[in-house]
């Protein structure tokens, strides 16, 4: 017959103390006066009985859930197609587990409904939130900031005091487009990876515009297409660009997933990459090195972003301060733009 699992009552009886004292000791509750001799008796009894408090018991004792929430903007689309997410999630979970927390995932398909993260907060399911893919038109962010609820943004918003973790999307896009211009391209298309109300899409579009302006090239609306996180969206956007009377000679896609769709449309139309049209992506997902031809892209430290976001959030939850962090990107030159040198 299996041995019954020890309970806190068993520890209390063996140590000669109350169950409340057992809870105070094993959960290391601050501000409670317990003698060292009593504390050691409780710890010794717990060791002898192989007793460990459950997560629920620890939460009741501390007033914390020991859970953090991750809210993904455009969640369902991103989970099915955005190959950036696995490494980002690995970084978050590594930090969360190291610090003794659990991760709760919610997907926000429509920010005005707020349901994805309002419920997490109001029902006290989490101690803090990471919001990935914040939108500039989300009115709840200012409310959360005013309430001092622990919140970290994955993505930078202008004029926002909420701490964020991001890469310099604008600088990465600027470098990619400047590289294409340096190869002689003058008619460059842009295909976004999300609506431009999303912070990352805004910044990557800003980098594209900055590079054009610096080289005195016009910003032509017909060369700009808004796509979503899916390769099919990149394919459809590229088909529109190919239908122009004068097609672009190069395209900067604001994510590798979208770039894969762009490349598919180019090749299906009978054009060669990079001989007819050069392509550059953003993120450097695993598949980028295995497309035909291999995709030139801007490398993003996805794991590091996830790890840093979780570390900052847990610091806020535990009463410390947190400041925004910006990680570096790197231009990875492969065959899809027609050059392997770093110009």
Arch. (CATH architecture) of 8-62: Orthogonal Bundle (1.10)
CA dihedral 305, 308, 314, 315 (to 10 degrees): -140
Q: pLDDT tens-digit profile of 156-180? A: 877 677 899 999 999 999 999 999 9
State residue 28's pLDDT score: 65
Predicted local confidence at residue 254, as pLDDT: 96
Rounded Cα distance between 292 and 336, Å, is 8
CATH 1.10.260.40 domain locations along the chain: 8-62
Q: CATH classification of 67-167+302-327 is 3.40.50.2300, yes or no?
A: yes
Nearest Cα to 267, choosing from 280, 276, 255?
276
Residues 6+ apart with CB under 8 A from 121: 129, 144, 149
User: How confident is the model at residue 112, as a pLDDT?
Assistant: 42
Distance CA 291, CA 147 (A): 47
All residues at 6 or more sequence positions from 98 whose CB lies less than 8 Å from its CB, including other chains = none
Q: Are 278 and 183 in contact (CB under 8 A)?
A: yes
Question: How confident is the model at residue 111, as a pLDDT?
Answer: 43
* Structure confidence by residue, pLDDT tens digits, 236-292: 999 999 999 999 999 999 999 999 999 999 999 999 999 999 999 999 999 999 999
Cβ-in-10-Å burial (0-12, 13-18, 19+) of 3 comes to exposed
Element containing residue 202 per DSSP (H, E) = helix 199-214
DSSP 8-state assignment for residue 293: S
Cα–Cα dist 308/91, whole Å: 8
Q: Compute the distance between CA of residue 263 and CA of residue 94 in angstroms, rounded to an integer.
A: 34
Residue 63: per-residue pLDDT: 62
CB 231 within 8 A of CB 283: no
338's tokens: 């027609």
In which residue ranges of the chain is pLDDT below 70?
Answer: 1-5, 27-32, 52-63, 74-82, 108-124, 136-137, 139, 142, 145-147, 159, 339-343
Check: CB of residue 240 under 8 Å from CB of residue 225. Answer: yes
Asked if 211 and 178 touch (Cβ cutoff 8 Å), the reply is: yes
- Distance (Å, whole) CA 176 – CA 252: 8
Domain(s) labelled CATH 3.40.50.2300 in the chain stretch across 67-167+302-327, 169-300+331-337
Look at the domain 169-300+331-337 and name its fold. Rossmann fold (3.40.50)
- What's the CA gap between 325 and 308, in Å, rounded? 8
């Amino acid at each position: 017959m299996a041995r019954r699992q020890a309970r806190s009552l068993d520890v209390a009886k063996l140590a000669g103390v109350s169950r409340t004292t057992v809870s105070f000791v094993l959960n290391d509750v601050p501000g409670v006066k317990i003698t060292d001799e009593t504390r050691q008796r409780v710890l010794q009894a717990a060791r002898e009985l192989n007793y460990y408090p459950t997560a629920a018991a620890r939460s009741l004792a501390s007033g914390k859930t020991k859970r953090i929430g991750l809210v993904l903007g455009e969640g369902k689309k991103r989970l099915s197609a955005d190959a950036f997410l696995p490494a980002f999630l690995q970084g978050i979970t590594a930090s969360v587990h190291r610090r003794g927390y659990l991760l709760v995932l919610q997907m926000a398909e429509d920010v005005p409904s707020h349901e994805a993260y309002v419920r997490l907060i109001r029902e006290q399911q989490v101690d803090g939130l990471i919001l990935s893919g914040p939108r500039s038109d989300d009115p709840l962010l200012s409310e959360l900031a005013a309430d001092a609820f622990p919140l970290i943004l994955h993505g930078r918003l202008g004029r926002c005091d909420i701490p964020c973790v991001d890469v310099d999307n604008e600088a990465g896009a600027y470098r990619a487009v400047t590289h294409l211009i340096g190869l002689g391209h003058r008619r460059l298309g842009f295909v976004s990876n999300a609506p431009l109300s999303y912070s990352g899409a805004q910044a990557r579009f800003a980098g594209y515009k900055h590079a054009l302006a610096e080289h005195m090239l016009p910003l032509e609306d017909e060369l700009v297409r808004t796509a979503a996180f899916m390769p099919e969206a990149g394919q459809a956007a590229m088909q529109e660009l190919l239908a122009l009377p004068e097609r672009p000679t190069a395209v900067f896609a604001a994510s590798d997933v979208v770039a894969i769709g762009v490349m598919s449309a180019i090749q299906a139309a009978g054009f060669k990459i990079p001989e007819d049209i050069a392509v550059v992506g953003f993120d450097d997902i695993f598949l980028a090195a295995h497309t035909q031809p291999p995709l030139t892209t801007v490398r993003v430290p996805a794991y590091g972003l996830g790890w840093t976001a979780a570390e900052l959030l847990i610091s806020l939850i535990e009463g410390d301060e947190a400041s925004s962090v910006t990680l570096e990107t790197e231009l990875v030159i492969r065959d899809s733009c027609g050059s392997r040198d770093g110009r």
